[in-house]
Structure 1
Amino acid sequence: MSEKHLAVVVLAAGEGTRMRSTTPKVMHELAGLPLLGHVLATATSLGAAHVIPVIRHQKEALTNYINTFYPTVEIAHQDEVAGTGRAVECGLEALPADFTGAVIVTSGDVPLLDVPTLESLLEAHLEGDFAASVLTAIVDDPTGYGRVIRSNDGKFLQIIEQSDADSEQLEISEVNAGIYVFDAQYLRAALANVGSHNAQGEKYLTDVAAELLNQGKKVQALAVSDNWLVAGINDRVQLSEVAAELNFRICEAWQRAGVTILDPATTWIDITVQIGEDATILPGTFLKGMTSIGSGSTIGPEVVMTDTLVEADATVIKSHVSASKIGEGATVGPFAYLRPGTDLGANGKIGTFVETKNAKIGAGSKVPHLSYVGDAEIGEQSNIGAGTIFANYDGINKHKSVIGSHVKTGSHNVFVAPITIGDGAYTAAGTVVRKDVASGDLAMNVAPQRNLAGWVIANRPGTKSAEASKN
């Protein structure tokens, strides 16, 4: 089918009360995207001429998201008339009046639905010259779903919503998945004839299929082979169930692509993450957002990483990393905290209990332990001593420190920004650096050490220290 003869209507107008949330249901996150984001990504990948999400509740939040990430789609607004049938009518109103062809209708809360499934449904619909095609699922517990009614020879007859079904119909295990393909002209005409004479007083889209059959049109119902593909999300229990299934599939896909994931059950990877071959992801790791892991790198255990670029053969252990860059062969952790703007060069090191923010650390340079590096630039092959603090804030403004290459700083230093330390300079242990240090200089401000003889015996008589000092 030509792109210009295909439209996709995405139903996203529901209030989602079972989520018990101020966030719209379709905006709850799953593997790095809102539920609606997953559905729109699939819909736009079909190459349809028109993709139309239909929204109603909390329009501003939905509109902002759609316009930001899917600016080419056409938003439709459902009025106060309730029901899925009315939602589709509102979606059709966004189409050109002379539009002909197929209309796929799907839901904004079915995030695992994929392109191959929709393409197969569309192909079967077009090849059989059907007026409507309904995707169904055979489930163990059909509670809450519309039941698919078939004739004795298996032909589709209608869909009965649970609230309208009798006791015999409630025993049916084949349910409506809420995904359809319609001929646009037939859909418009059938919707005009569908009423709201049901227990909910709503205009059901499901009644369109029965209406088309009454008109003598061909309607088919096809069962999906994988029920997860049509799993809808109405509450947070279902959200967690679908999240676990999607995460398992993401992990399995990366394993088959050459990534070692020791324990997929405790490894969570957003769908937006990229991982190179021969990378190893250890248990308790969360890879989020636009994170990219280079080949041969080892991440974990117990790492949370968001929007971070890790180049090849790097190692990150038990650390929290956000909006940072970790160079080839570099090491991070354990217990490091890399805040946004951290850029660690090749073969560099950010070690135990180190926090960095807006810090560029050159190739081969090391901040091994117990330090804060904020608003700083460190050259290549420098070493920052234990317990060093980059004092970047004067109470009003942040200031930058610049440390050259091949610099060696002593333990327990404080660099009071703004300062510059030249290439090859040294600082002594315990130094508070308030002025620039020229290349090759040694900075120190410690007073000469004084030892007061007999002080403990004189000032702490009777203590164990005093007794020990007499020996």
Structure 2
Amino acid sequence: MNKYVVILAAGKGTRMKSKLYKVLHKVCGKTMVEHVVDAAKGTEPTEIVTVVGTGAAKVKDVLAGQSEFAFQKEQLGTGDAVMAASDLLADKDGSTLVATGDTPLFTSETFNNLFAKHQADGNSATVLTAKAPNPFGYGRIIRDENGNVLRIVEQKDGTPEELAVDEINTGVFAFNNKELFEALKQVGNNNAQGEYYLTDVLEIMRKAGKKVGAYQMPDFSESLGVNDRIALAQATKIMQKRINEAHMRDGVSFIDPDTAYIDAGVKIGNDTVIEGNVVIKGNTVIGSDCYITNGSRIIDSKIGDGVTITSSTIEESEMDDNSDIGPNSHLRPKAKIGKKAHIGNFVEIKKAEIGENTKVGHLTYVGDATLGKDINIGCGTIFSNYDGVKKFHTNVGDHSFIGAGATIIAPVNIADHAFVAADSTITKDVGRYDMAIARGRQTNKPDYWHKLPLSKDKEWE
């Protein structure tokens, strides 16, 4: 059986009060419409068609290579939106699933169950329903005394008796594809909104003697549609819980899963422990046996096995096995930390490679540098990489020692087994086994205290 998916993503979403097109708002790192497309892909469809309107170019950019596109010229309702896909789908045999791009919580399992129910019952149309604790705002499923679906009534068009029904339309349907597009030609707009409702197709099919059914899913929360920032936050919370529980089932420990925010697509190895108030985003991969403490933030980074991250920020960087960082340090983009390297507190590293077993203890900036293995970098060292116009690189060889308070002014090369004395400003290369000292000589002025006016103040003596 050919399976098609139509995703409705043409609405602007004025209630979001945003310059950003509604379906492009993100839930756990992915746009809402990407979540819907991902769920649709899980049904192994023959074709996915996304109906776009306002902001079409931006939606196409996000879904490039994942979907075909149809354009809805005017916002005339869901029936009109599906009809926009007729040129691509109307003459094809098979079943079509219709979903909306602002419902990011639907799963592939639910979509597959709907397809299976639709096929097994031989329906022309099957609506995905759920029992709602508070059905206000949803279309109600109206059944006859035998439980057969008669029609769907929208909130603004329902009678008090109809609006008392708590079984709601989730906005997802499965149809016989050719029969769907034939029925759409008969849909009118005689309703409170003056729109062409996709839901009217069910009654049109039923009156034509075709079989209309429903599949009631067990988890109402999947059907949450996002129309404002409140619903966006609710969807994010539900998705966050789903993601964290999946990681826990795979062997990751969360000290406080309610406050750990992990993006969809992040990979974490087993026996890693994550404390509360941790944020892990983007294309991040974390190995096994890591420990990530409260307040850490990791974005688009690769973390090896056995790494400890203590209240630090890591962006577009790498940490190799058994290295550690923090507290309160920052890896900026293109930092690469070698095996067993130690990055202490209040250290910032940018576009620099730190070799195996090298220690950058505290209060240090390393920018545009390559550091070898087994190096000690003293407290307060600065790798000065910018002259106000260009960035320059520094190389430090293996087994070197950089004293506290040193300033390394790039470009400069410090050979292996070299020494830089504390508080030196280095502007020239340093050879192997050499010590570089670049500071003014100390001069002591005897009895200087008594030359000062304040020395005559008894309180200071």
In structure 1, the residue matched to 2:13 is 16
SS of 1:461's partner is helix
**Equivalent in the alignment of 1:32:** 29
Task: Tell me the equivalent position of 1:93.
Answer: 87
Question: Can you list the C-alpha shifts for 1:78-98, whole angstroms capped at 9, x where unaligned?
Answer: 121510001101123222x53
What is the deviation of 1:18? 0.9
Measured after TM superposition, the shift of residue 251 of structure 1 is 1.0
Equivalent of residue 278 in structure 2, options 269, 273, 285:
285
Paired position in structure 1 for 2:63: 66
1:138 has 2:135 as partner = no
Corresponding residue pairs, total: 461
Is 2:315 the partner of 1:322?
yes
Counterparts of 1:362-381 in structure 2, within 5 Å, are 362-381=355-374
Q: After the TM superposition, which residues 253-272 of structure 1 pair with which residues of structure 2 at under 5 Å, given as runs?
A: 253-272=246-265
Of 20, 43, 46, the match for 1:49:
46
Match of 2:176 in 1: 183
CA contact (8 A) 2:49 2:85 kept: yes
Counterpart Cα distance in 2 of 1:106 and 1:92: 16
Alignment of 1:166-315 (within 5 A): 166-315=159-308
- SS of residue paired to 2:209: coil
The correspondence for 1:448, drawn from 412, 426, 441, is 441
CA displacement at 1:460 relative to structure 2: 4.6
1:379-458, aligned counterparts within 5 Å?
379-458=372-451
1:274 & 1:296 partners in 2: Cα distance?
13
Question: SS where residue 80 of structure 2 aligns?
Answer: helix
Stretch of structure 1 that moved more, 304-313 or 446-455: 446-455
Residue 384 to residue 294, structure 1, CA distance change in 2 (3 Å) = same
Is the contact between residue 41 and residue 108 of structure 2 (CA under 8 Å) also seen in structure 1? Answer: no
Q: CA deviation at 1:28?
A: 0.6
Root-mean-square deviation (CA, aligned residues, Å) is 1.3
Percentage of identical aligned residues? 38
For the pair 1:84 / 2:78, whether they are aligned, the reply is yes
2:454 aligns with one of 450, 457, 461: 461
Query: Are 2:323 and 2:340, in contact at CA under 8 Å, matched by a contact in 1?
Result: yes
In 1, Cα distance between the equivalents of 2:3 and 2:454?
93
Residue identity in the other structure for 2:162: Q
Per-residue CA deviations over 1:80-120 (Å, capped at 9, x if unaligned) read: 1510001101123222x531110000111111111111111
SS of match in other structure, 2:376? coil
**1:389 deviation in Å?**
0.7
Residue 431 of structure 1 and its aligned partner are, at CA, apart by 0.3
Aligned AA (2:452): N
- Which residue does the alignment assign to 1:114? 107
Instruction: State yes or no: 1:338 paired with 2:331.
Output: yes
| 1:44 shift after superposition | 2.0
Report how far residue 463 of structure 1 moved. 7.8
Deviating runs (4+, > 4 A) in structure 1?
A: none
Task: Give the drift of 1:284.
Answer: 0.9
Task: Tell me how far 1:167 sits from its aligned partner.
Answer: 1.6
Distance 1:76 1:268 in 2: 35
The secondary structure found in structure 1 opposite 2:160 is coil
Q: In structure 1, give the amino acid aligned to 2:70.
A: A
| 1:123-162 paired onto structure 2 within 5 Å | 123-162=116-155
Counterpart selection for 1:105 from 98, 114, 117: 98
| 2:351 match | 358
- Alpha-carbon distance, 1:384 to partner: 0.8
Q: Give the counterpart letter for 2:82 in structure 1.
A: V
- Equivalent-residue separation in structure 2 for 1:457 and 1:161 (angstroms): 93
Distance in 2 of aligned mates of 1:460 and 1:209: 98
What is the alpha-carbon distance in structure 2 between the residues aligned to residue 223 and residue 124 of structure 1? 10
The answer for unaligned runs of 5 or more in structure 2 is: none
How far apart are 1:321 and its partner, in Å?
A: 0.7
* CA distance in 2: counterparts of 1:143 and 1:81, whole angstroms: 23
Q: 1:383 to 1:463 in 2, by over 3 A?
A: farther
- Report the Cα offset of residue 152 of structure 1: 1.8
Paired residue secondary structure (1:21): coil
Q: Deviations over 1:377-413 (max 9, x none)?
A: 0000101111111110111100001111111011111
Alignment-mate amino acid for residue 74 of structure 1:
E
Cα distance in 2 between the residues matched to 1:456 and 1:235: 70
Normalization by structure 2: what TM-score? 0.98
Cα distance in 2, alignment partners of residues 365 and 353 from structure 1: 16
Deviation of 1:66 (Å): 1.4
C-alpha distance in 2 between matches for 1:114 and 1:148: 22
State how far apart, in whole Å, the 1-side matches of 2:88 and 2:11 are: 19
Letter of the structure 2 residue corresponding to residue 236 of structure 1: R
Deviation string 1:232-251 (CA, Å, 9 cap, x unpaired) is 11111111111111111111
CA distance in 2, matches of 1:74, 1:291: 29
Name the SS of the counterpart of 1:41 in structure 2. helix
- The residue matched to 2:179 in structure 1 has which SS? helix
Q: How far apart are the structure 2 equivalents of 1:422 and 1:301?
A: 39
Q: Distance in 1 between matches of 2:75 and 2:22?
A: 20
Structure-1 separation of matches of 2:119 and 2:436? 80
What CA distance in whole angstroms lies between the structure 1 residues aligned with 2:54 and 2:217?
Answer: 30
Report the TM-score, using the length of structure 1 for normalisation.
0.96
Distance 1:307 1:81 in 2: 38
Shift of 1:130: 0.4
Determine helix, strand or coil for the equivalent of 1:202: coil
Following superposition, the deviation at residue 63 of structure 1 comes to 1.4
Q: Which moved more, 1:443-452 or 1:208-217?
A: 443-452
